[in-house]
Homo-oligomer: A and B are copies of this chain.
């Protein structure tokens, strides 16, 4: 019944035996190196292909002391933006001949206890961090001690880690400034989870845009929407209960903007006539909401690719000095802002 292990994997020794040379010579040929006569080389190559030889990366890693593998630690990437990011990262890794072992940590953040050890045991050559909820995680210091190259999508407590991303304050600024320019005075904002770097940065941008325009920042106009559609909708409700005069809303993500639109509909407010809405991220759905959503485009795919590129550079050059790459964003005006 369970007598598997059907086809024994063929090793260099098998290939060597079939071509009548030592396995070390076989290894030389298969790696393109060494001085081996053309005829022998051909014979070996032939034998390898006859036998269907597939090199064993485990063994190679053992002696080479690197695995050609990077770890990606992420939170739930069924989130569209994170998904784009990871796809970008993975494809870049592949392009450079690296594999990616991925682990998505649970919302509760039990991730550290599992994810990090798992990567260390697998001796990944570097780690890409895309898990906002680990922002505060002290266990990362441990990784840094081991001087493993790490690139992150967000800031890391101890510092010393390279980051790649867009300027979140600028995002908040652009979005809010656009509304100010359209003549809005009472501009509310639905923000993400309080305390997160991204939330606070985008909020700072919002605030700066107001102050640049001589408007007063008013905490009453800020409401937490927790990145979820439904939560953003009820945040919007709370805002309008408090202040009937709101004429524009900046949502800190397009997903939340959908919730905002949903709430406004329930309140029988016309968008943008009664209330304008601006989101950010530019998800696929953005052009197809009702009305189409004005937003800030954030290049997630490119960010992922760039982050991986940076990580691989760190790995191959052995450079460990942290850097910071900022990718450009831009405003996309659609109907929701009039």
Tell whether A265 is near chain B: CB-to-CB under 8 Å: yes
**Beta-carbon contact of B147 and A7 below 8 Å:** yes
Tell whether A182 is near chain B: CB-to-CB under 8 Å: no
**Beta-carbon contact of A318 and B3 below 8 Å:** yes
CA separation between A229 and B4, bound complex, in Å? 46
When the two chains form the complex, which single residue of B4, B99, B121, B229 contacts A55, counting CB atoms closer than 8 Å?
A: B121
Tell whether A285 is near chain B: CB-to-CB under 8 Å: yes
Tell whether A9 is near chain B: CB-to-CB under 8 Å: yes
Query: Which range contains the number of A residues in contact with the other chain?
Result: 35 or more
**Beta-carbon contact of B91 and A104 below 8 Å:** yes
Tell whether A2 is near chain B: CB-to-CB under 8 Å: yes
Across-interface contacts of A301 in B (CB, < 8 A): 78
Kindly specify which of A24-32, A80-88, A152-160 makes contact with the partner chain.
Answer: A80-88
Q: Which residue of B lies closest to A81 (CB)?
A: B78
CA separation between A123 and B1, bound complex, in Å? 23
Across-interface contacts of A5 in B (CB, < 8 A): 65, 318
**Beta-carbon contact of B123 and A56 below 8 Å:** yes
**Beta-carbon contact of A57 and B123 below 8 Å:** yes
- Minimum-distance CB pairs A-B, first 4: A78-B83, A2-B318, A4-B318, A290-B290
**Interface residues, chain A, CB within 8 Å of chain B?**
1-7, 9, 54-59, 61-62, 65, 67, 69, 76-80, 83-84, 86-87, 90-91, 94, 99-104, 106, 114, 117-118, 120-123, 145-147, 229, 233, 255, 258-259, 261-262, 265, 284-285, 287-288, 290, 301, 317-320
* Interchain residue pairs with CB less than 8 A apart (25): A2-B317, A5-B318, A7-B146, A55-B121, A56-B123, A58-B61, A59-B62, A77-B77, A80-B80, A80-B83, A83-B83, A90-B102, A90-B104, A94-B118, A99-B118, A99-B122, A100-B102, A101-B101, A101-B102, A229-B284, A229-B287, A233-B288, A258-B288, A261-B288, A262-B288
